[in-house]
Structure 1
Amino acid sequence: MNFHTYGEPPSKSVRIITGQSVLIDPSSRPKGTCLEVESGIARVYCPCEETEGMTLAFLQSGDQLRTDLLCSEGVCVEALTDLSFHSNVNIDENIGYDAVNEWTLQLLRIRHLGNAEQRLQALFSILVNRLGRRCGQWCELPFRLTHERIGELIGSTRVTSTRLISKLRSSELLIAPIGTQTVSVAPSFIETSPL
């Protein structure tokens, strides 16, 4: 796995380019602090040997990652788009919303749908509704996920996710233009999602 260890100068803004990951070590951080995303989109995943690469959440601007609730091995933060986050932000207990817990719950719900097609549709629906935007006739995600990552998220193999994505492309429900980092999804596909 290719990631940098994030050292922790206090209250520093950290920038990560698309595709890079940092390991957040909870033992090196003060209690009661968190990271807050300033801009960009991140994937939070587990670095543990047994669950290496397991996605826990996606974060966007304003979301907080509570470092006092991490497993002892920490978590990794991957920049899906150019990412900036602020370190050692005090936890806002009044928010009443934990982005990581909410995402983990939604990803678990997706994994429990009946078949891989339903799970893929639910995954794209939640990604577009939370992290994407409507662009004319399409809904657009500002990042791409590998077929292997999609397989991990929907509980299938890379081969199955590739087959399902090819089916979406041939049905003109998904477009991933060459030379861009975006993915366009048909609104009709999102609107009929089982979740």
Structure 2
Amino acid sequence: MPVEYPELVIKYDGTLLAGVDEVGRGPLIGAVVAAAVILDPARPVDGLGDSKMLTSARREHLAEEIRDKALAFAVAEASALEIDELNIYHATHLAMRRAIDALKPSAEYLLVDGNRLPGHHVPGQAVVKGDARHPAIGAASILAKVARDAQMLTLHERFPDYGFARHKGYPTPEHLAALERLGPLSEHRRTFAPVKRQLELF
């Protein structure tokens, strides 16, 4: 029998089912971060869901609980350089495969947020808006978001004039104005249009 969740039927009943999600496709700077999580049915984590809908404090609390209770979890990334070399689509799937490969024990089935699988040998299915539809994907979303936000806070400490603590690298008016005023950093994604335009001027 398939395992049923609201609006979602999982065509697999194995216990080592990993949720996979990414954060950071849209920003102009830094890595794209992916996470994979195998939850423990005997130790559920309440309140899992789309990380974007949670406060920072709530994400931090849930991330700690996920790391404590999950059967396995892993966070991996593809760098800004890899994004520029591969493009963001392929770099995102690279980060996902790295996270899946790092799981111990290994996953037997994958639930991947989005509409495409990352090309891993472990079977699975893509789930559109999966972070709000399955707890394992929601858990992965939270771990990836917490990890990427931490990277942006570290970058903010080094370059406070860019405002990374506030916009997390996304192309907000503040970030675009800082790019125009100060120029791109080495961590910026050089193939992304706003960065590419400024590189031509500096």
* TM-score normalised by length of structure 1: 0.30
User: Structure 1 or 2: larger strand share?
Assistant: 1
* TM-score normalised by length of structure 2: 0.29
**Relative CO higher for 1 or 2, CA cutoff 8 Å, sep ≥ 6?**
2
User: Structure 1 or 2: larger helix share?
Assistant: 2
